Amino acid sequence: MAPPIQFEALAEDALLLRFGERIDADLNDRVHAAMACLCQRLPALECVPAYASLLLRFDPLAWRGPHGEPGHRHLQAAVVDALDGHAAAAGASREVRIPVCYGGDGGPDLDDVAAHCGLRRDEVIACHTAADYRVAMLGFAPGFPYLLGLDPRLAMPRRADPRQRVPAGSVAIGGSQTGIYPDVLPGGWQLLGRTPLRLFDARRATPALLAPGDRVRFVAIDAGAFAALATERDA
Amino acid sequence: MSVRVLKPGLLSSLQDGGRPGHAALGVGRAGAMDAPAWRLVNALVGNTRGEAAIECTLLGPTLRFDQPAVIALGGAAIVAHVGGVAIPMWTHCALPAGSVLTLGGIAVGCRAYLAVRGGFDVPPLLGSRSSDLHARLGHAHGRALRAGDVLPLGSAAAPPMRAGDEAIRMLPWSLDPQPWFDFRQRPLALLRGSHFDRLEAGSQERLYRARFVLSKDSNRTAGRLDGHTLRLQAPLELISEAALPGTLQLPPSGQPIALLAEAPVTGGYPRIGQIAAVDLPLLAQRRPGDTVCFRESTLDEALARLAAREQRLQRLLTVIARRLASSEEYSP
């Protein structure tokens, strides 16, 4: 039996649903299931998922109860009602395959990660491509996915001196998480390689390549395949 | 059908109502920091669809209009002229083609808004023409305006002027800025945040009694508060959660940080308070060096004030639309 959701009114237009306090795949699944349910049943809400919480943003002047009571209490009741009996069912998730050219210019920290973890380079790549990841949330920058599911053997702290410019497409490890830089950004994560895919493009019908709740697999490619895919992307 | 930026000013950017609905993709809202001022200047030029205006920070830009245009200025008090003619605020002015509008410094407040009839018609991204300078989204990849930028105007830009008219014309009335600009720099309504109880007792008290100073390291993403540091009873290790404008965070330095319009969508610092949304436009008008004080507020009070402000604003927008309709000729 899952613990009850805690509600916290953060601001006039924001209600936070807390499912727990840990980075944990099961908790994160509950967040995504609740989001899927609320998006369908209360479409006027904006849902912002995180590891173990879901923020709802809404128009407080529109969400009034039948007797004019202010937004939050009425909204909280509507949320409880909408989730009742539905929150357990996680929606079917997409799997997205991400080609990555490991090492070389795109992965300057691959050797450091291997040394830190006591593995060979090819073992690091094998571990990183073997896992089944889940997009816990997008944040930091448009389209930046925080992925759960990193093999614990690959966990490695952030760099002591963060880089000012991490190239777009960099696939990286930060602590027990892995992620992909969607754009040129400052960052302290360890860079393993680079994907030629564009993680975020506001002009696309679906701007972010990945959505919260998606499953992700990394597929190793060589420099030739990377160049071919990059050319195709820019065509 | 465009406006050319001759001088960019200190930090000028296109802003509208922002980009709600995309936070799950990591895209924040951005948008005008002083939203009521932005709505009023749009209303003053007859815009009704949330058109983008220029948000000027401390020092405004110089712009050349290559066609007749109708403009309005609001927000912080800014000096403006076309040639030798002073352009007043909180009303609208019809400018002939070729006008060079020089916006000067802002002496009180921080952000002024320039609306043009028809709006600035750059391509919208995710439903908004706002420049998100932090996330680099919007016009010219979300950067501030630069000299040489050419901004197209929307199709409703041409004013109903008599043919051959070369004069600058103004409405015979203007809005009273008093309700829409916080001249007294009042304390801001602050709700207790999730981790308020984790502050040391002295820090809890200081949060509501101290006079903080807005740091010069502030921008559209965050306002840093100098002058007093606050301490937690014990360090808190938190996992990232959604963040939102108005959240008062406490990083390990002990210097509170208020998240603003371009706040990242997630964050992991303790939330010691939440500035009521109704008071965020007031904070938007504080400039580096200005005092920021808080008073304790409740959600119900904040909601009631928000509803009351919206009602006043709606009433005023209706009145402006009615008066514009009856003064389409701009008779002196």
Q: Nearest by CB to A11, from B20, B21, B244: name it.
A: B244
Q: Is the residue at A76 inside a domain?
A: yes
Distance CA B121, CA B17 (A): 14
CB pair distance less than 8 Å for A10 and B194: yes
CB pair distance less than 8 Å for B135 and A141: yes
Q: What is the CATH number of the domain that holds A66?
A: 3.30.1360.40
Buried (b) or exposed (e) across A194-227, using 16+ Cβ within 10 A? bbbbbbbbbeeeebbbbbbbbbbebebbeeeebe
Q: Which domains does chain B have, with CATH numbers?
A: 2-175+311-326 (no CATH), 188-297 (2.40.100.10)
Chain A from 185 to 204: CB within 8 A of any B CB: 200, 202-203
Distance CA B110, CA A95 (A): 47
Same domain, residue pair A162 and A203: yes
Helices (H), A6-156: 25-41, 71-83, 110-117, 121-130
Q: Is the residue at A211 inside a domain?
A: yes
Work out the average pLDDT over B150-171: 74
Q: How far is CA B131 from the centre of its chain?
A: 12
Distance CA A171, CA A174 (A): 10
Distance CA B56, CA A43 (A): 35
- Beta-bridged to residue B114, according to DSSP, are B54, B73
**Extended strands (E) in B83-161:** 85-86, 92-95, 100-116, 150-152
Q: Give the residue on A whose Cα is nearest the Cα of B193.
A: A10
Query: Which residues in chain A touch residue B277, judged by CB atoms under 8 angstroms apart?
Result: 11-13
Q: Give the residue on A whose Cα is nearest the Cα of B126.
A: A202
CB pair distance less than 8 Å for B23 and A55: yes
Give the residue from B113, B144, B88 showing the smallest Cα distance to B35.
B113
Find which of A1-5, B165-169, B187-191 is predicted with most confidence, using mean pLDDT: B187-191
* Phi/psi of residue A185, nearest 5 degrees: -145, 155
Same domain, residue pair A54 and A109: no
Provide the pLDDT confidence category of residue B177 given band limits of 50, 70 and 90: very high
Give the residue from B284, B59, B69, B70 showing the smallest Cα distance to B181.
B284
Same domain, residue pair A28 and A77: yes
Q: For tokens 């754009």, what's the residue?
A: A183
Tokens of residue B121, six digits: 């018609």
Tokens of residue B2, six digits: 């465009």
Q: Which long-range contacts (CB under 8 A, 24 or more apart) does B164-169 make?
A: B165/B96, B166/B96, B167/B96, B168/B82, B168/B85, B168/B87, B168/B93, B168/B94, B168/B95, B168/B96, B168/B99, B169/B93, B169/B94, B169/B330, B169/B332
Same domain, residue pair A203 and A163: yes
Same domain, residue pair A157 and A194: yes
- Chain A interface, best mutation among B19, B22, B25, B195, by max A CB count within 10 A: B25
Total domains present in chain A: 2
Distance CA B3, CA A8 (A): 46
Work out the average pLDDT over B16-31: 95
Query: Which residues in chain B touch residue A5, judged by CB atoms under 8 angstroms apart?
Result: none
* Phi/psi of residue A127, nearest 5 degrees: -65, -45
Last residue of a domain, one of A22, A55, A83: A83
Same domain, residue pair A201 and A144: yes
Residues spanned by the domain of A69: 6-83
Residue B236 DSSP one-character state: -
Q: Is the residue at A89 inside a domain?
A: no
Work out the average pLDDT over B242-262: 95
Same domain, residue pair A139 and A222: yes
Q: Is the residue at A90 inside a domain?
A: no
Q: How many CB atoms lie within 10 A of CB B266?
A: 25
- Chain B interface, best mutation among A5, A6, A10, by max B CB count within 10 A: A10
Q: Nearest by CB to A138, from B24, B239, B274: name it.
A: B24
For B26-74, what is each residue's pLDDT tens digit?
999 999 999 999 999 999 999 999 999 999 999 999 999 998 899 999 9
For A191-213, what is each residue's pLDDT tens digit?
999 999 999 998 888 899 999 99
How many H-runs (helices) and E-runs (strands) does chain A carry? Answer: 5, 13
Q: Nearest by CB to B306, from A8, A60, A141: name it.
A: A60
Give the residue from A15, A231, A204, A88 showing the smallest Cα distance to B25.
A204
Q: For tokens 């540091």, what's the residue?
A: B229
Q: Is the residue at A197 inside a domain?
A: yes
Same domain, residue pair A211 and A120: yes
pLDDT of amino acid B160 = 57
Q: Nearest by CB to B264, from A60, A139, A183: name it.
A: A139
Tell me whether A134 touches chain B (CB under 8 Å).
Answer: no
Residue A56: C-alpha distances to residues A42, B55, B241, B275 (Å): 10, 28, 12, 17
Of A61 and B150, which is predicted with more confidence? Answer: B150
Q: Is the residue at A171 inside a domain?
A: yes
Closest-CA distance, B238 to chain A, in angstroms, reads: 8
Q: Is the residue at A1 inside a domain?
A: no
Last residue of a domain, one of A83, A116, A132: A83
Kindly report the pTM of this predicted structure.
0.93
- Beta-bridged to residue B116, according to DSSP, are B71
Closest-CA distance, B268 to chain A, in angstroms, reads: 11
Q: Is the residue at A78 inside a domain?
A: yes
Last residue of a domain, one of A40, A60, A83: A83
Q: What is the CATH number of the domain that holds A106?
A: 2.40.100.10
Q: Nearest by CB to A142, from B25, B278, B306: name it.
A: B25
Query: Which residues in chain B touch residue A183, judged by CB atoms under 8 angstroms apart?
Result: 136
Q: Nearest by CB to A21, from B239, B271, B310: name it.
A: B239
* Phi/psi of residue B124, nearest 5 degrees: -75, 150
pLDDT of amino acid A134 = 95
Buried (b) or exposed (e) across B287-310, using 16+ Cβ within 10 A? bbebebebeebebeebbebbbebe
pLDDT of amino acid B163 = 44
Same domain, residue pair A103 and A212: yes
pLDDT of amino acid A73 = 83
Same domain, residue pair A31 and A121: no
CB pair distance less than 8 Å for A211 and B242: no
Is residue A214 predicted with pLDDT exceeding 60?
Answer: yes
Same domain, residue pair A77 and A137: no
Closest-CA distance, A100 to chain B, in angstroms, reads: 22
Provide the pLDDT confidence category of residue A219 given band limits of 50, 70 and 90: very high
CB pair distance less than 8 Å for A11 and B135: no
Same domain, residue pair A113 and A198: yes
Tell me whether A59 touches chain B (CB under 8 Å).
Answer: no
Q: Which residues of B touch A (CB under 8 A)?
A: 20-27, 125-126, 135-137, 191, 193-194, 239-242, 244, 246-247, 264-266, 271, 274, 276-278, 299-300, 302-304, 306-307, 310
A110-117 vs A121-130: helix crossing angle, rounded to 10: 90
Closest-CA distance, A120 to chain B, in angstroms, reads: 31
pLDDT of amino acid B332 = 37
